[in-house]
Amino acid sequence: MDKIGRYQIIRKLGKGGMGSVFKGIVPMIDKVVAIKLLDPFEAMLDIIGTEKLREIFIYEAQTMAALRHPAIVQVWDYDEDDKGRPFIVMEYLCNNLGDMIGEDFEVEKDSRVIKPDKVIDYGKQILSGLSYLHHNGIVHRDIKPFNILVSDEDTIKICDFGMALVEGVAFSGPSMMQIGSPYYTPPEQSRDANAVDGRADLFATGVLLYRMLTGKLPGMQAFSLSLVNPLYDKSWDDFFAKALNWNPDDRFMSARHMQEALTALHLNWQAKQKSGTITPKIPEDLVALRMKPVQVYGPKARELFGVTSLFRPRSVMANSLHPQQNNTILDCTTSLIWQQQGSEYPISWQDAEIYVAQLNRLKFAGISTWRLPTINELLSLFAPLTTSATRGFDPDKNRLWSCDSHKNHERWLVNFDMGYVANQDMNCFNFTRAVSNN
């Protein structure tokens, strides 16, 4: 597919029950957008029918277009393609919480554990968006990791309103069809999806927060955090006992109340659990890391990078970083020289190459052999960037491009903030830190 309406299509991003999502370009101004096209699975088409699906899709577009809040994805356009299928044009965001925590179609599998301060920050943003929705009489009914997008500025954007309940008017498919996603849906929604209120979204948010903190679903184990990690006290247990209560009357009464309770929680950093942390390996000799870029994916990528199934490093190296007077940092363990500041702003991978070429033209720090680092080289910085913000690097520049390719339009990067290796579209925006072995 080359075009949808007037929009040039770059590639398909994914497909859900009702539609397919594409990455597209606005003509003339070359702005990247996300395009959701009504393109249902055959089974859904047979059960619900073309006209009803079209009605639901248009309803979603109208709902989203009326919303104005920083934590809700923006809709910019609506039209039909040459086959008469409606489509929605939205802002394009590279990250979502599903990918960031490593959740896949086997939802029961463990996901990545996220730092609690990050979970609190994301949780407050999600609840702020839900407070706005509920104030406007909208219940999302499908809060889950893949419906939470994350911007380049690390802000939350709630998306996918295809199953939303608006002032009692909502999608009403066959009685056997579930509204919402398994494990995230509250019990009352399974019984009568059209009778729920905002507390259904608060239950799903509680599941999401618990999952980010533990890597597990609360339904798979007891949710008393204080019994398994001294970082959390009983107030955390009370918070989740209320958020995940099966009786909506015993949950938080509003998103604002839940947000206030989340903000009031404290962490016992002095008793931080040490088990599960990665002990740096002290090399006996100078470590030589791979310098040449490769194209790799799947199990071969995990083996080459030395990462787990969740793409987290199996071990980290005890490096020896020494800031220099020329705005570089020397690692005496690898003899690599790192640019200390890196790019001022997040940039695309193509612009990262241009940025490095410019460093070489200017002979930054007297060096003309700057290049994009490999994933293995970036992972050699893992220990200092995740244990201290005072090692010389800017801790806010925590998503760094590598020179390694995943597939034709995707490149590998390291997310130091969450401690894992990922791949993204080349047009996504991340920071760049050049390296040299000069």
Residue 411: strand pairing partners: 405, 424
Tokens coding 36: 């959701």
Residue 436: strand pairing partners: 337
The span from the CA of 99 to the CA of 417, in Å, is: 14
The span from the CA of 296 to the CA of 435, in Å, is: 21
The interaxial angle of helices 116-135 and 255-264, nearest 10 deg, is: 160
The span from the CA of 340 to the CA of 322, in Å, is: 10
Q: Order of strands, edge to edge, in the sheet holding 169-170?
A: 138-139, 165-166, 169-170
Q: How far is CA 7 from CA 2, 19, 97, 420, 429, in A?
A: 9, 17, 27, 34, 21
201 and 130 Cβ atoms separated by less than 8 Å: yes
**Candidate list 2, 30, 81, 142, residue with the active-site label:** 142
Residue 117, φ and ψ in degrees, nearest 5: -65, -35
Determine the residue type at 71. Answer: A
User: Has 142 been annotated as catalytic?
Assistant: yes
429 and 400 Cβ atoms separated by less than 8 Å: no
Active site residues: 142
